[in-house]
Amino acid sequence: MNKFSRVIASAVLVGLSALALTGCAMGGSSDPLRIGLEAPLSGEQAVTGEDMLRGAQLAADEINATGGVDGRQIEIVPIDDAADPDTGVTAAAAAIEAGLDGVVGPYNSGVGIKTLPLYVEAGIVPIRLTTNSQTNSLGYTLQPMDYQIAPVAADGMKEWLGAKSVAIIYDETTDYTVGIAETLKSEFEKDGITVPAYLPIQPGGTDYTSALTEATTAGADAVYVATYFPEGAVIAQNVFALKMTQPCVLDYGAYDPGYITNSGSVEVAQACSLVGVPSPTDFPQGAGFVAAYDEAFELAPGTWSPYVYDSVKLFAEAVAAAGGTDEAKLIDYLNGVKDWQGATGSVTIDPENGNREPATVVFLRVTPAGGFSVDQAWATAVGAPF
């Protein structure tokens, strides 16, 4: 079993029982710096979580190779929430009990609403990957928030696609998808775009043709779908089979390599555009990360590994600057972050909410090679710097 396989195996155990993590909080200068990585390491979103874990491990390995943080080696502690709030609470509580110096994650907002307060209450400063505004100020984040995503999405639908009416289909079971659908509806209407259909769906379905048909027959110029990638792939299959003429745009939650895999083919995946963040190769500083990731794991990086990689690096830098993991000192340092440079570009933290400025939100297309790339037609239409 290689090192990464052992890490994944440990993650599953963390999610199952507090016995998976033993020991106590460590404070000695030679003790490891234990950084949790909370992510969906099992279940239908496991491909996302495993990519996140690899990004965290790569950052830790690079830091450790240069002496660690003030002589302390970083240990990544996998915390498997399975994209489920209850599972997340159990796993987070076990990890906190065993002793953590910091945490990166979670990814799912519905999970983070439950687990992030646990870390904060324990005096642990999270670097989260959630996007729902209910997680504002529960630690810090390097990826966009819903209130940053919605204006970019609305502007693209109007200025690029020329839509005057947009139907919204959304997963009604998660805080993020419900929240972004509500925010988008308001943003569309503010921009003069009507919403002739606002349709909730349940995850886990194998056919959403009825929702798409209702959306298009309502007179929508385009359809915007707020789901995670498993449902996004089914939507793309349905759009392709229907030969839908209205543009289909999938929300941020569906932006993941798993979307292309689950779609069944590149041609099907190309049936929809996506709103998300630049792919690792789109970032000006991303080439070094991509090369290092490939060398370490013999895989291409996914969507969120560069954000986790940067999150671990930023947290480590904060610990070094603060001289340890004192909560107040870490917060003071992170509140002052300005123009920090990472694999995902420049980072400035808004101390009012712990969120990143500027947000890295773009429209993407699926390339013929089966990857993602910033859509140049969108970038030209809206004047984006890509």
CATH number at residue 40: 3.40.50.2300
Same domain, 259 and 110: no
DSSP string across 305-333: HHHHHHHHHHHHHHHHHHTS--HHHHHHH
Q: Are 181 and 158 in contact (CB under 8 A)?
A: no
Give 31: exposed, middle or buried? Use CB within 10 Å, 0-12, 13-18, 19+: middle
pLDDT in tens, 219-232: 999 999 999 999 99
Same domain, 199 and 341: no
Same domain, 139 and 38: yes
170 in helix, strand or coil? strand
Average pLDDT, the chain: 92
Same domain, 71 and 39: yes
Total domain count for the chain?
A: 2
Residue 5 has pLDDT above 80, yes or no: no
Same domain, 87 and 119: yes
Same domain, 326 and 376: no
Same domain, 266 and 371: yes
Residue 27: per-residue pLDDT: 42
Same domain, 163 and 292: no
DSSP letter (8 states) at residue 73: P
Residue 154 has pLDDT above 70, yes or no: yes
Give the residue-averaged pLDDT of 3-7: 45
Same domain, 105 and 161: no
Residue 379: per-residue pLDDT: 95
pLDDT band, very low/low/confident/very high, at 204 (cuts 50, 70, 90): very high
Length of the chain: 386
Give the residue-averaged pLDDT of 124-149: 96
Give the residue-averaged pLDDT of 316-335: 98
Residue 29: per-residue pLDDT: 58
Q: What is the pTM of this model?
A: 0.87
200 strand-pairing partners = 170
Residue 22 has pLDDT above 70, yes or no: no
Element (H, E) at 379: helix 376-382
Torsion, CA 68, CA 95, CA 136, CA 54, rounded to 10? 50
| Nearest residue to 155 (alpha-carbon basis) of 193, 119, 182, 121 | 193
Same domain, 77 and 180: no
Interatomic CA distance for residues 176 and 145, integer angstroms: 10
pLDDT in tens, 268-301: 999 999 999 999 989 888 999 999 999 999 999 9
Same domain, 223 and 370: yes
Which residue range is the domain that position 369 belongs to?
146-276+362-382
Residue 30: per-residue pLDDT: 76
Same domain, 119 and 200: no
**Which residues make Cβ contacts (< 8 Å) with residue 297, sequence separation at least 6?**
4, 54, 58
